[in-house]
Structure 1
Amino acid sequence: MSKRVIILIIDSLGVGSMDDVEDYHPQDIGANTFYHILEVASPNIPNFKRLGINKILNYPAIQTADYLASYGVLNLMHQGADSFEGHNEIMGSKPKKAYLAPFVENMETVKHALEEAGYKIAIPNKELPYLLVNDLVIVADNIETDYGQIYNVSAPLDYISFEEVLRIGNCVRQHVKVNRVIALGGENITPEQLQQSVEKRSDGLVGVNSPKSNVYKQGYQVRHLGYGISPDNQLPTIAKKAELDVSLIGKMQDVIYCKGARKFPGVDTKQVMENILQEMNHVENGVIAATVQETDLAGHAQDVTRYANRIELVDGFLTEIVDSMTKEDLLIVSADHGNDPTIGHSQHTREKTFLLAYHKEWKPVAIGERQTLSDIAATAADYLKLEAPENGISFLTNVGSVIGEG
């Protein structure tokens, strides 16, 4: 009999600061994204209430009586609060300790490696140090994120194939230990436009101002290359190798690599939720994994009203998702970190995430506090009777006698 696991990640919807914030992230002390959005904006979330979100939040204005889902809390095993690392942890990767460094500290090493690989390399401006590869591709800091975490490999795709950009990106990846290297490109932009979009940030980072360059506007392609991450050890690739269906929707397909998966890019929340329902009509046996990204964007904008509106939109679609589930479906809803728009800054907040696991034949129980987001992948693999991913412990043994039956 066919089985499906539907994983819905609501990007940045944390439920309280991690225990280590006082030592490592004091700016996040008191963060609680979901609770504070309820407190300030009072979104209408009947389906979250019905599933049992208040067994986790303990928000006074929500009456908790009967609830449908097993519930718990997940800790972040990765450092900081990062969507890419969070998603890869969710899919079963054990986070590796990366290091922080501006690109200038690794520039000579990367320059030598690219030249050894046969590329022409220049440093056009000593005042704005970056590498120009074959007069087209810029290797530099990502100036849209936290200091020293990410290097970008940016390209004009009318002049070079994305496959070649990815080869350059992989060469960079092999010679640096930062959290991420992002290979990206867009159409209808010139090499000159890219170079004219290079800026120096106030903290000294140098890189392409991607929105200013218009790289996102037409024909945008991207691949995130993480440090120490192997797709072979993650749930989607394990499922695909077992000849199950795999669908990656929204930001999930941006940050998780799985050869042969059906992929549905998109940022719009309505589109993401509609894609889930569409794939529930298509996938007979396997994994449907989706990410709602607009919540995180609202967090960065410190826009509580917008954040609440996106949660309401997701909640509205949960009615149809639950109604469309068969007796062999497992729905897991969670997040990847926090982004509390009320905390006083616009960056991710290091928060635990909620865990709701719904199965039509399970008696809902308390799953407890788990040590890693990877328990999601471990549980999904266990439910589908697959090889275990690299990281995580299944919680199936916590949730009743029907586990593994059928």
Structure 2
Amino acid sequence: MARAIILMVDSFGIGSAPDADQFGDQGANTFLHIAQQYQQQQDSLLDLPNLSGLGLVNACAEAGKQELPVTRYQASQGAYGYAQELSTGKDTPSGHWEMAGVPVLFDWGYFTEKTNSFSPELIAKINRATGIEGMLANCHASGTDIIARLGEEHMKTGLPICYTSADSVFQVAAHEESFGLENLYKYCETVREVLEGMNIGRVIARPFVGNDASDFTRTGNRRDYAILPPAPTVLDKLDQAGGTVISVGKIADIYAHQGIKVKTKATGLDALMDATIEHINKAEDNCLIFTNLVNFDQDFGHRRDPIGYGKELEHFDSRLPEIFAAMKDDDVLFLTADHGCDPTWPGNDHTREYVPVLAYHHNIESVNLGERKTFADIGQTIADLFKLPSMDYGESFLAQIK
């Protein structure tokens, strides 16, 4: 039986979604604006031969109704399209769950105040439950910025750095050595319990190391504590049918570890790609290998670094032939994203955008999948590929790519 591989290029939007104005994101286009900044600042064009060959540039041109300043390659082998999000948010769980066939049709709970984001009552509950009297930050912040600003005070006082963003999230940064990694995990597990009933999507442990603000660095020991999806995902259905779901990166955390048999953590694009290739080489049939390439989002999108983002895309593109070479004849590769994070957009939050929907196998021709009405088309296609019961949402495009 077939195997499927999903490479989830975290935050790689390709044009404003039809409802982007409701999110203040009308005009956002992660890929287009990266390409434009790259041309202006590097005096050269983004060069993505493998992604272009799959049809990425065609998909972005159709989604954004604009031509991109990139090196031109013919779409030669791969299915390409673009999908809009049905879910009510533009956050990580919503995008991931929807692509697995379960859109989020309810409203998340949010901490909307930019400062004093957590109420005195909530802080008192957390202090009582954790036994730690106090916290630092209590605001909306960029993770790297808040560590640089408060990391030294955190190490002196032992108080965790607690912050949030426009997403439904409670984040906790702490030093791996002075605070302790296991203590950070325990603190976050307790906060997750305290937040029960508030519909907060994730509590995220954000460990870091270093001696002072000049060299603080986040580590790969991040851990997400997510609530469960509201219905069985295609991962659950494959697991229940006797198949194997392999998580690479933070996928297992996003799905609250449901339906996943094998979990591999890795830090950085190369390590994530290496782990994915190793699983492709070893995995049995009837298997889904699902990889989140988080660095596009956390290192370049949120940090508003279009040049770094562009260079990372070129490096990712250069490694795709290794994925192709490892695939068997009946394997199917899907490339997509969970939301946008336009590095030229005001602020540092996600942007409401179309995402690419690319598919590849060794015998595929160039196929235009057009506009997809929901990310759930990917989950429905995977269900179709593995002959699983249909999902409640999405339309399979398997017939178009086989």
Q: TM-score, normalised by structure 2?
A: 0.76
Whether the 8 Å CA contact 1:140–1:151 is kept in 2: the answer is no
Q: How far 1:49 moved relative to its partner? A: 1.5
Q: Deviations over 1:25-46 (max 9, x none)?
A: 33x2222111222233222211
* Structure 2 residue 179 is the aligned partner of structure 1 residue 181: no
Task: Provide closer, same or farther for how the CA distance between residues 187 and 76 of structure 1 changes in structure 2, counting only shifts above 3 A.
Answer: closer
Which secondary structure state, in structure 2, belongs to the residue aligned with residue 15 of structure 1?
A: coil
Which secondary structure state, in structure 2, belongs to the residue aligned with residue 14 of structure 1?
A: coil
Whether the 8 Å CA contact 2:248–2:290 is kept in 1: the answer is yes
State the one-letter code of the partner of 1:151. Answer: F
Which secondary structure state, in structure 1, belongs to the residue aligned with residue 312 of structure 2?
A: helix
Of residues 330, 346, 349, the one that matches 2:348 is: 346
Q: Deviations over 1:110-138 (max 9, x none)?
A: 967998xxx57686589979xxxxxx998
- RMSD of aligned Cα (Å): 3.7
* Structure 2 residue 96 is the aligned partner of structure 1 residue 87: yes
Task: Provide closer, same or farther for how the CA distance between residues 323 and 106 of structure 1 changes in structure 2, counting only shifts above 3 A.
Answer: same
| Cα distance in 2 for residues equivalent to 1:240 and 1:3 | 15
* Structure 2 residue 251 is the aligned partner of structure 1 residue 252: yes
Worse-matched range after superposition: 320-329 or 64-73: 64-73
Whether the 8 Å CA contact 2:76–2:365 is kept in 1: the answer is no
Of residues 31, 34, 48, the one that matches 2:31 is: 34
Q: Where do 1:2-401 residues align within 5 Å?
A: 2-22=1-21, 24-26=22-24, 28-41=25-38, 42-58=45-61, 59=67, 62-63=71-72, 65-95=74-104, 96-101=106-111, 108=121, 119=129, 124=134, 142-143=163-164, 145-146=165-166, 149-152=168-171, 156-157=179-180, 160=183, 162=185, 165=187, 168-178=190-200, 180-182=201-203, 184=205, 216-217=218-219, 220=221, 222-226=223-227, 229-230=229-230, 233-259=232-258, 260-285=260-285, 286-296=287-297, 297-389=299-391, 391-397=393-399, 399=400
State the number of aligned residues: 362
Task: Provide closer, same or farther for how the CA distance between residues 166 and 55 of structure 1 changes in structure 2, counting only shifts above 3 A.
Answer: same
Which secondary structure state, in structure 1, belongs to the residue aligned with residue 366 of structure 2?
A: coil
| Cα distance in 2 for residues equivalent to 1:393 and 1:306 | 35
| Cα distance in 1 for residues equivalent to 2:319 and 2:290 | 15
Whether the 8 Å CA contact 2:17–2:84 is kept in 1: the answer is yes
Q: How far 1:165 moved relative to its partner? A: 4.8
| Cα distance in 1 for residues equivalent to 2:379 and 2:224 | 21
Q: How far 1:266 moved relative to its partner? A: 2.5
Whether the 8 Å CA contact 2:81–2:372 is kept in 1: the answer is yes
| Cα distance in 1 for residues equivalent to 2:78 and 2:234 | 22
Worse-matched range after superposition: 61-70 or 99-108: 99-108
Q: How far 1:289 moved relative to its partner? A: 0.8
Q: How far 1:394 moved relative to its partner? A: 1.9
Q: Which sections of structure 2, spanning at least 5 residues, go unmatched? A: 39-44, 62-66, 140-156
Worse-matched range after superposition: 44-53 or 244-253: 244-253
Which residue of 2 is the match for residue 193 of structure 1? none
Q: How far 1:62 moved relative to its partner? A: 4.9
Task: Provide closer, same or farther for how the CA distance between residues 142 and 393 of structure 1 changes in structure 2, counting only shifts above 3 A.
Answer: farther
Task: Provide closer, same or farther for how the CA distance between residues 220 and 366 of structure 1 changes in structure 2, counting only shifts above 3 A.
Answer: closer
| Cα distance in 1 for residues equivalent to 2:324 and 2:217 | 38
| Cα distance in 1 for residues equivalent to 2:233 and 2:308 | 33
Which residue of 2 is the match for residue 195 of structure 1? none
Which residue of 2 is the match for residue 196 of structure 1? none
Q: How far 1:149 moved relative to its partner? A: 2.8
Task: Provide closer, same or farther for how the CA distance between residues 107 and 240 of structure 1 changes in structure 2, counting only shifts above 3 A.
Answer: farther
| Cα distance in 1 for residues equivalent to 2:137 and 2:203 | 23
Q: How far 1:157 moved relative to its partner? A: 4.8
Whether the 8 Å CA contact 2:58–2:75 is kept in 1: the answer is no
Q: TM-score, normalised by structure 1?
A: 0.75
